[in-house]
Chains A and B, each alone.
Chain A
Amino acid sequence: MAESGTKNLLDLDDLRAEGGLTGRRHLLSLLVENRPGVLARIAGLFSRRGFNIDTLAVGPTEDPDISRVTLTVDGAVHPIDQVTKQLHKLVNVIKIRDMDPGTAVAREMALFRINAAADNRAEIIEFTQIFRAHIVDVSRRSITVEVTGTTEKIDSFERMVRPHGLIEMARTGEVAITRARPES
């Protein structure tokens, strides 16, 4: 039996269980094989395990055989640990990165078609300038604006224009990439 103070000692009461909820939003960046059915496998896994995908973006990478899937999951509702481990079981999923907000650059693009009658048109153009967004289409009744930035920036643009009459909105979901390490 281990005596107190020896290297054998381990108090079972000191052991802590792993996992659990992190309470924050997670941005997962997956490198997957670029072949038919891979997205269906990922989507199917989420639905059968009862996980929600908040946003999802899929596109090519520098390697034509590999695609990148970027998705956001709420770590307050789902154990991210379990989500990533289940994703890893998919044979076509090559790599998963739980992007750390501190070391990743994440951007989203959104298109807003906003009601723009004569009396509020000027204000919408002003918002567009403040948010460094672009007007990409215009008609007598509406203006369509393209906004790129962090999710928070797009959320706040939405809050600004919604009172004017948001006719339609389309958001891409975030894509992300790790920041280059500072040169030493």
Chain B
Amino acid sequence: MRAADALFEALKAEGVKHIFGIPGGANLPIYDALYDADFEHIQVRHEQCAGHAAEGYAKASGKVGVAFATSGPGATNLVTAIADAHMDSVPTVFITGQVRTDLIGTDGFQEADVTGITMPVVKHSFLVTDPSQIPDYIHKAFHIAKTGRPGPVLVDIPQDLSKMEIDYEPITAAPRLPGYQPNTEGNIKQIRIAAKALANARRPVLYAGGGVVNATASEELRELAGADRFPVTCTLMGLGAFPAPHEQWLGMLGMHGTRTANYAMDEADLIVAIGARFDDRITGKLSEFAPRAKFVHIDIDPAEISKNVPAHIPIVGDVKKVLPKLTGEYRALAPDPSRLDEWWRRIEGWREQYPLRYEDSSDQEIKPQLMVEEMYRATGGEAIVTSDVGQHQMWAAQYYPFSEPNRWLNSGGLGTMGFGLPAAIGAQVAMPDEQVVCLAGDGSLIMVCQEFATAAAHELPIKVFLMNNGNFGMVRQWQELFWDERYKAIEMGPSPDWVKLAEAFGWTGILCDRKDDLAGAMKTALETEGPVLLDVRVTPNENCFPMIPAGAAARDMVG
């Protein structure tokens, strides 16, 4: 059979049903094979969004997301999404067409060295040099993408090779990858030491990240937290891994986290990092981060341990396997729970003194925080929420409590504006029966608004709640606070008319600019069939607080 047909046989064997992509010259043989293959292809309008849609698909469903692009510009358009998937450990496989093998290296038409360009941002990549490699590489790509610390894998297939005939035999054996053997179990001796450390800690904090979501270990996290009233905080990527609201829940930590969470980290004597990586948005000034704490660090990726913050008790393993062992070992020690009483009094004090708060308007002006709260009420807190990057993302993280994992899909590590809409498309394809809401920023949404066409064409009933403040809000906030109010290049101007734009793409467009109308407008948007854009005009110059200024310590939170 043709190598391109074998590609789809391999994809089918991997359980793939949906593919996001755009055809072009170099992947024409692949699209020709797709003509006869039984897959749902979602034709996006820009390759970057094929990538983000594949990410949204993966984040919502836990399955590997797949995106296709052609060579050269098609492939380079994917790069942002690949880098995004790399930073947030999203299991994805990107399959690009490459120019004919005889043209490689000659600056041929639509040639780009995409394996070279993406090398720093993939978990692994394959350049096919022999058509018979294709099925094997596909199985290896899926294996690598979804095991260990998940991530993006690229398979680059020259056009001439995908047309060639090969002898295809289904591959059932496990892929042979001598240099890739993730350690998942966790060293039991280390786990015992960690249990003892927890039993002797008086001011412990569990700090959970996206790794808990990736490992589907929220239940295991809840078990550990319940073993002894341990306070829990999550990173932006970890939201939903612990059911908020909850009496042990401190809120998100980090730059726009709660004071309670950040102060608890600051005063903790033992921090258990679980599938989290001590990003600079968490630590702030590294030398003053959690100065009193010892660190237990549990991660599937050994290179994350002691990368930024030296670990005292490193545990390499899958948190889903490590946490139950840690909980068991801890329970066996039967420590006195009252030793945490004083710590909880301290935490309760912060909670009372520093709740998340904002000043609501006295007129019909819609405060952005209120918009998020209304969105929580309108969706019953049960939607899959995607977001773009900026203030609205942080307000969502603060004011929309996520009680389950895989419901909060956003771009944390790379911070990719425009992630929300394509991710919502991917999430809705993966979960057709779920309510998918994209909380968009106007600065972000305009970067990807061509994807309104994709949602309309595929009749995806996603709801975009646009937090429209008319400017790049987070940039404006930084220029105000840290650059002497020298505002530059932040205004979005009067265009577009979002309602008309939405309607032009076949969506329903709704405008809301009065507080009294907001709840009703959201209800209408959610109840309207098909894709809906709700343009909510919010306070243009609201700042997102509290905040740890860049390079400052948790103690120095402002706002």
Residues on A facing B (Cβ under 8 Å): 1-2, 8-12, 15-20, 32-33, 36-37, 40-41, 44, 48, 79, 81-82, 85-86, 88-95
- Closest A residue to B333 by beta carbon equals A8
CB-contact partner of A94 in B179, B196, B270, under 8 A: B179
User: Digit string of B323-347 for contact with A (CB within 8 Å is 1, else 0)?
Assistant: 0000000000101101100000000
Residues of A within 8 Å of B144, CB to CB, are 91
Stretch binding the partner chain, chosen from B2-10, B305-313, B399-407, B542-550: B305-313
User: Digit string of B284-323 for contact with A (CB within 8 Å is 1, else 0)?
Assistant: 0000000000110000011101110011111000000000
In the complex, what distance in Å separates the CA atom of A23 from the CA atom of B101?
Answer: 47
If over half of A's interface residues share one DSSP class (helix, strand or loop), that class is named, otherwise mixed; here it is loop
Asked if B301 and A17 make an inter-chain contact with CB atoms under 8 angstroms apart, the answer reads no
Residues of A within 8 Å of B232, CB to CB, are none
In the complex, what distance in Å separates the CA atom of A41 from the CA atom of B125?
Answer: 10
Known contacts A10-B193, A10-B200; A82 and B120 CB within 8 A of each other? no
Q: How many residues of B sit at the interface, in one of the four size bands? A: 35 or more
Asked if A82 and B306 make an inter-chain contact with CB atoms under 8 angstroms apart, the answer reads yes
- For the complex formed, measure the closest distance between the CB of A3 and the CB atoms of chain B, giving whole angstroms: 10
Asked if B179 and A19 make an inter-chain contact with CB atoms under 8 angstroms apart, the answer reads no
Known contacts A44-B120, A92-B179; A12 and B294 CB within 8 A of each other? yes
Asked if A12 and B311 make an inter-chain contact with CB atoms under 8 angstroms apart, the answer reads no
- Closest A residue to B302 by beta carbon equals A85
In the complex, what distance in Å separates the CA atom of A9 from the CA atom of B200?
Answer: 7
Known contacts A8-B199, A12-B201; A91 and B303 CB within 8 A of each other? no
- Closest A residue to B149 by beta carbon equals A89
Asked if B311 and A18 make an inter-chain contact with CB atoms under 8 angstroms apart, the answer reads yes
Does any Cβ of A come within 8 Å of B127's Cβ? yes
Asked if B313 and A15 make an inter-chain contact with CB atoms under 8 angstroms apart, the answer reads yes
Does any Cβ of A come within 8 Å of B177's Cβ? yes
CB-contact partner of B197 in A12, A48, A89, A90, under 8 A: A12
- 11 CB contacts below 8 A, A to B, read A2-B200, A8-B200, A9-B200, A15-B313, A17-B306, A36-B127, A48-B120, A85-B305, A88-B302, A91-B177, A94-B179
- Closest B residue to A93 by beta carbon equals B179
In the complex, what distance in Å separates the CA atom of A18 from the CA atom of B302?
Answer: 13
Asked if B310 and A90 make an inter-chain contact with CB atoms under 8 angstroms apart, the answer reads no
In the complex, what distance in Å separates the CA atom of A17 from the CA atom of B310?
Answer: 6
CB-contact partner of A82 in B123, B179, B199, B307, under 8 A: B307
In the complex, what distance in Å separates the CA atom of A36 from the CA atom of B312?
Answer: 39
Residues of B within 8 Å of A82, CB to CB, are 303, 306-307
